A and B are shown apart, each in its own frame.
Chain A
Amino acid sequence: MAKIEKANSLGEWFDQRLNTTTFTKVMMTEYWIPKDINFLWAMGVLLAVTFKILVITGIFLMMYYKPDVNLAFDSVNYTIMQEVAYGWLFRHMHGVAASVIFLIIYIHMLTGIYYGSYKKGREMIWISGMLLFMTFSAAGFSGYMLPWGQMSYWAAMVITNLFGGIPLIGDALVVWIRGDFNVADATLTRFFMLHVFLLPISIMAIIGLHFYTLRIPHVNNQTSEDIDYDAEAEKYLAGNKKESKVIPFWPVFISKDFAVLGIFLIFYFYLVFFHYNFAMDPVNFDPADNMVTPAHIYPEWYFLWSYEVLRGFFFDIAGFKAFDIGLAAFGFANVAFLLLPFLDRDPDILPAHKRPMFFAWFWVLMVDLIVLTVYGKLPPTGANAWVGFFAAVVFILLFVALPILTKIDAKKRGA
C-alpha cells in the first residue's frame, strides 16, 4: 500500500489515496501542446462542452418524456413545451446542440484531414474519432425519433428499411430491429433505451479512448513539424518558455480554447433563442401517422451528404439493381473516412498546401460534400437526380484515387 501519513490539507488527503498530483500533471498541467496551432484545434474543447450540454439538457427532458407511441408526442409538444418550467429551453438547447455538434465534428474532421493529423502514429486518434462520429450519428438518429412526429416516424421507417438490403437475412433483420412488422411501440422503446443509455455511455467511453490516444503520439500542428516533446518540455520547465516549442494544456493553452469557446457559445445561444427552428422540421409537429407519408422525406442536414450518395444511383447499371448499388455506395461512404490513414500513401505528415495533389483532392472533396448536402435536400427529379448521381460518383472516385494521388505527391517531393 502507498504510504499514508496524516494529511495537512484535503488536497494532500486525496493525493495520498488517488495520486491526484500526478494525474493532473499527466492530464493537464504537463500535457504538452505545440505553440503552432490555430483556432481550429479548439474544436475538441467545443465538442466536449456541447456534449455536456446535451447530457444535462437530456437528463431534464427525460424526466418528462414518455416513451410510448400514444404519449410521446404530447409529452414533448405539450408537457415539456408548455407545462414544465423552462421545458422549451431545455428542448431547444438539446435540439440545437444536437445539430451544432455535427457542424463542429465536421470542422474537427476536416481540420484533421487538411493537416494530415490521421497519419503515421496518429491512426488510432483518427479511428477512435471516427468511431465517435458513428456513435454520435446513431445517437442523433435515435433521438430524432423520440418526439414521434411524422418525420421521426418516416425517418425510422427509411433507416430501418436500409437493413433490408443486406443479402439473405435482410427482411428478418428489419423485423428484428423493429420488434414489429412495422415501426411501432417496441421500436420506440428500444430506440429510447439506445438514445438515453447505451449510446451516451458508449460515447463517453470512446471519448476517454480518444483522449488517451492523443497522449502518446501527441497532437499535430500547423506545419506538421515533428517535435521532440520531452526535450521541449524540459526547456519549458527550466523556465525557457520562449524557446520551447510547447506549452502546457492547463492553464496556458486552454485560455485560447476558452476564448474560442466564448465566441462559440454566443453563436450557440443566439441559435437557441432566435433560430431554434432550423433544428426542428415543421413536418415533425404533425403526430406520426403510419398511413400517410410526408410528400418529401429528408434527414437532418448533417446526414444529407451520405443520404444523397445513397439515392444518387437511381438506375440499374450492368445488371445491378439501383437499390443495391445505392446501398453499397452508402456503405462505402460510411467507411471511406475510417480508412483514410491507410488510403493516404504519402509517407510524410504535411499540411495539404505542401502536397499539391492532395490539396486539390481536399478542396474537391469539400465542394463535393457541399453539393451532395445541397442536393440531398432537393427533390430527386429531373436534373437534380443527375447532379446527385455525378456528385456521388465523384465522391467514390475521390477515395479510389487517393492512394495514387498521394503517391505522386510523395514522388515529386523525392520522398
Chain B
Amino acid sequence: MSNNTNRRDFLGFTFAAVAAVGGAASLVGMKQAWDPLPSVLAGGFTNVELSGLKAGEPTTVMWRGKPIFVLKKSAEMEKSERDLIIGNDRFIVAIGLCTHLGCIPAWKKSTWKCACHGGEFDSSGKQTFGPPPRPLDLPPFSVKGTQIVLGEEGPEYKKIAAAMMA
C-alpha cells in the first residue's frame, strides 16, 4: 500500500509543480495583455513654442492624450523652485489633470480651480486648497531654444524634478 501511495503522491507533486509553473506563466501573460500597446508607448513627442505666450494666461496643449498647462508667469506672480527659466521669462509646465481624481482644473484669474471637488492650485501648480494631495505633476520635457519638447527628459526637467522632490 505504502508503495502505491508514494507513487501517487509523487504523481500528485509532479502535477502540482507543472501546474504551478504554467499558472504563474499564464498570469504573467495575462498581466502583460493589459499593458499599454507598443504603439501607445511609442506615441508622442509634442513641440511647444514658448515665445508667443502672453504672461499670466496659460495655454493648454495635448500630449499623450493629456492636457498640458504652460503658463508664462507675469511679474507679480510668485517665484518657485519649479519655474522653468528661459531668458528673462519664467514658465510653469504641468500636466493639467487634478492630482486628486484627474479632472481638468480651469484657470480663474490667478489660480487653477478644479470643479470636481473644489481643489485649487496656485500659479506655480502648488495645491492650496481641497483634496488634491500634491502639486500638479511635471511632464518630462527638454528645452530647444524657445521651444520645449514634451516626452523627452532634458537636463532642465531633471533639475526641476529634483527640486520638486526635495
Contact = CB atoms under 8 A, between A and B. Distances in A.
A176 B116 contact: no
A40 B101 CA distance: 38
A323 B66 contact: no
Contacts of A175: 36
B118 A157 contact: no
B141 to A, nearest CB: 15
A190 B34 contact: yes
26 contacts: A154-B103, A157-B101, A157-B102, A158-B103, A176-B31, A176-B34, A176-B35, A178-B36, A179-B35, A181-B65, A181-B66, A182-B64, A290-B62, A291-B60, A291-B104, A296-B116, A297-B103, A314-B117, A314-B118, A314-B130, A314-B131, A321-B133, A322-B133, A323-B132, A326-B131, A385-B118
Interface of B: 31, 34-37, 40, 60, 62, 64-67, 99-104, 106, 115-118, 130-133
Interface in A301-337: 311, 313-314, 321-324, 326
Nearest to A157: B102
A180 B65 CA distance: 9
A158 B36 CA distance: 19
Contacts of A314: 117-118, 130-131
Given A157-B102, A311-B131, 4 more contacts: A157-B103, A184-B40, A293-B103, A294-B115
A177 B34 contact: yes
B128 to A, nearest CB: 12
Contacts of A271: none
A259 to B, nearest CB: 45
Contacts of B36: 175, 178-181, 186
A5 B117 CA distance: 71
Interface of A: 154, 157-158, 161-162, 175-182, 184, 186, 190, 290-297, 311, 313-314, 321-324, 326, 379-381, 385
A50 to B, nearest CB: 31
A181 B65 CA distance: 8
A296 B116 CA distance: 6
A353 B98 CA distance: 47
9 nearest CB pairs, A to B:
A182-B65, A323-B133, A161-B102, A293-B104, A321-B133, A322-B131, A158-B101, A293-B103, A161-B101
Contact of A186 (B40, B66, B99, B118): B40
A306 to B, nearest CB: 14
A381 B130 CA distance: 10
Contacts of B65: 180-182, 184, 290
A305 to B, nearest CB: 16
Contacts of B67: 290-291
B114 to A, nearest CB: 8
Contacts of A182: 64-66
